[in-house]
Chain A
């Protein structure tokens, strides 16, 4: 008996060993490519470790024109001509030292910084910028206002626009620049994976690349070597927030840009001295969109009355855990504080909670409240609405629940509909939705925001797919103001126009602003110091924003 069993056992053992070895061999084949052994970044000191919560695995693709590029490509490998920081509204010259617009605003000239070298040692020249914009337009579109890009001399580029378009400066200036001498050799730039990128950024060298993590080392030819204090950047892949949050709570990552519920307890309390977070309200404004092609949402009084019924304080405190603040009737998020009309913001009516006024306004608008307390349309049918939110956004789901409770107080029955985001977005796009909680355009100037919420140019009929202005509201007065804004480069005039746009927004209530989206960001200063904060807002804690490079060139290792 003993013999039989041992023989069997040995067979099984051998089979197991073969299976495991086979699987390992497959793995080794699949993940090949790095090949430089177990070098990694540990030799030079602890790397700056950053989790990426929405990528279960990384693919070695550093092509900045690819929509699925590896993280940090646009932040650490390639750089723009200047960096705009929404947290304090400042602009930092980067690859360009200065820029100017012609008198009629149709030509923008950038002077490139002298002495900038690509990571392969070649100098940065004007032709690099020209090629960048050619490829960007060809591969990813946009810049339809751009006529030609001209390399005036080695260090000067002029952009010729087909019309005056004020937002162009920020779009062009924040475009990351790629090297002409590399990309002109690439046969099909759309399918290039650019495994060993050549960039001007601070961290360009791929030290190791595995599907679960990769290390970027310092650019040997960086133009501000005194700012490369981080030994390396290490990105970790996570298939969800839980794993990334655990790594942050456990102190294994330095910079955690993902959403963490209950962050005081889950993160800060683990090490109150070193763990910090800062959520500046500089993200896109989050609005409640009412489909204005459907009655009663085509009535501005109804929109304002519904808005007055909402308890934004409760939404911010409960659903958003106090991480942001209530919106005002200018519609502008915290990123546009410099543009906000403070007088208007101080005298808002329809974004303050006032149930009595909401009831009065609805009565007046012709939506009477019946004996059972619920309101009806003028034709007698019950006034109900649906709020659509994606099921995975638990925070926005509670926002919708609170709105639904608030609306019950004014006799409107609102139900929350939470299928998968894709189904929700599909109903936004074709205009079949009732109401929904939606982000808005976020750009350096408020032009894109106002264009997206109330320009007739962005209104598509129901049934036709659109990717902005889901609520399908257009206002001709706003059109005129937007054209005026785009047509001037004079900042004072722009501010005056934006004030008028805010007044128009206040009058029409095209969408119901709820709260500015916070930019999530947490860090631990155990290993690195110099993080941006409310006191020193030189950037946000976003790892996917243009400002990320400012953080990467400011952080320094803790000594000792």
Chain B
């Protein structure tokens, strides 16, 4: 319990530091939202409209510390204000409209990559020097080091345009609406395949290598030799003795990655026109939409810290050594 409380205190501190950074960083960027909007409209807006827009958006010209105090209050109450680049939609609504797709895409891709990567890592390490171990790691690292944009475009052209197996864009067919029907779920799943698979392909190599390396270290431990000497079945040793211990670093990275999933997958969203938070964040940064930027950063920060906290707790379950210390 003391361990959990101490961790909780640490996370509160980390949260404060990151929300403060969220507040400060956007304000260091040059320009202001309205002149960004004006510049982007390239002569379709008149200069007279600018002051009016500044008034409309209720842009702050109060001292920064005062804005900061208000901001901290709003963070606590979850009040994120109104998006500027999406005016007059509230930030909460902008994020809520996208985050489901982001979690669906990022979560699916991450879970598949982790399961597949770890399983391959375990097997490769178990039969060290075997076909799997000598062939897969270089190939996966090679594929993973391709620029993602290129790989995704290639996959889109090959499987989407040339072969026509998968839809080219979006999370479901245009003209349909999300519903709990078999047709819709099948449609959404089909749209998910290419974006998710491309992410899995570039990320699985890292998971596999990490798992393989810790697994090799674990295989050399005395208790493995002991288990073998006692005549336990190899499968049982592999999964219950070696993998279970080698899994710990993977759990940590899984937690980290899970938290970052809510940040969206910008390039995937751009290539496959998949709805999500990543493009919103890019648009917010380009438009200097402080409220939306802060809202998204806050969501990411909160998710990363929350998931890490959960991982810490899971660790207590998984690793008795943490409990003892």
Contact = CB atoms under 8 A, between A and B. Distances in A.
Q: Do A and B come from one complex?
A: yes
Interface stretch (B11-19, B71-79, B124-132, B232-240): B232-240
B312 interface: no
Interface string B95-118: 011111101100110010001000
A37 B36 CA distance: 38
A29 B96 contact: yes
A239 B86 CA distance: 15
Contacts of A211: 97-98, 275
Given A59-B89, A67-B53, A4 B169 contact: no
A34 B177 CA distance: 8
A34 B176 CA distance: 10
B46 A212 contact: no
Interface stretch (A96-104, A405-413, A439-447, A531-539): A439-447
Contact of B239 (A4, A42, A246): A4
A37 B177 contact: yes
Contacts of B38: 467
A10 interface: no
A59 B94 contact: yes
Contacts of A490: none
A422 B286 contact: yes
B138 interface: no
Contacts of B320: none
A236 B96 contact: no
Contacts of B107: 19-20, 23
A57 B99 contact: no
A68 B86 contact: yes
A193 B89 contact: yes
B272 interface: yes
A234 interface: yes
Contacts of A141: 48-53
A242 B153 contact: yes
Interface residues of A, number: 82
Given A4-B235, A236-B170, A429-B35, A439 B175 contact: no
A25 B185 CA distance: 11
B174 interface: yes
B251 to A, nearest CB: 14
B179 A37 contact: yes
B168 A252 contact: yes
Contact of B87 (A23, A67, A208): A67
Interface string B277-295: 0011011001010000000
Contact of B50 (A41, A246, A467): A467
B103 A23 contact: yes
B36 A425 contact: yes
B306 to A, nearest CB: 15
B168 A242 contact: no
A191 B87 CA distance: 8
Given A19-B111, A239-B279, A252-B168, A27 B100 contact: yes
A140 B53 contact: yes
A4 B273 contact: no
A22 B100 CA distance: 8
Interface in A417-446: 420-423, 425-426, 429, 439-442
A213 B42 CA distance: 25
B47 interface: yes
Q: Name which of A56, A59, A284 has the most chain B CB atoms within 10 A of its CB.
A: A56
A142 B270 contact: no
B179 A57 contact: no
A29 B31 CA distance: 36
B279 A56 contact: yes
A24 interface: yes
A441 B43 contact: yes
Contacts of A26: 99-100, 103-104
Contacts of A30: 96-100
Given A23-B107, A234-B174, A1 B235 contact: yes
A243 B177 contact: no
A240 B153 CA distance: 13
A250 interface: yes
Given A30-B99, A59-B89, A465-B35, A23 B104 contact: yes
Interface in A280-296: 284
Contacts of B100: 23-31
A61 B239 CA distance: 54
Contacts of A284: 42-43
B31 A425 contact: yes
A215 B175 contact: yes
Contacts of A41: 175
B53 A59 contact: no
A242 B235 contact: no
A28 B233 contact: no
A423 B235 contact: no
A258 to B, nearest CB: 13
Interface string B155-198: 01000010000001111101111111000110010000000000
Given A24-B104, A28-B100, A423 B185 contact: no
A338 interface: no
A192 interface: yes
A38 interface: yes
Contacts of B283: 56
Given A213-B170, A240-B270, A467-B47, A42 B103 contact: no
Interface of A: 1, 4-5, 8, 12, 15-16, 19-20, 22-31, 34-38, 40-42, 47, 49, 56-57, 59, 61, 63, 66-68, 139-142, 144, 190-193, 208, 210-213, 215, 234, 236-240, 242-243, 246-247, 250, 252, 284, 420-423, 425-426, 429, 439-442, 458, 465-468, 544
Given A144-B48, A190-B88, A211-B275, 7 more contacts: A20-B108, A24-B185, A29-B100, A30-B99, A67-B56, A67-B87, A243-B169
Which 4 A-B pairs rank lowest in CB-CB distance, beginning with the nearest? Answer: A27-B100, A40-B175, A141-B52, A56-B279
19 contacts: A16-B111, A20-B107, A23-B101, A24-B188, A29-B100, A56-B270, A57-B279, A59-B86, A142-B46, A191-B82, A213-B175, A243-B272, A252-B168, A422-B31, A422-B286, A425-B35, A425-B36, A425-B39, A426-B31
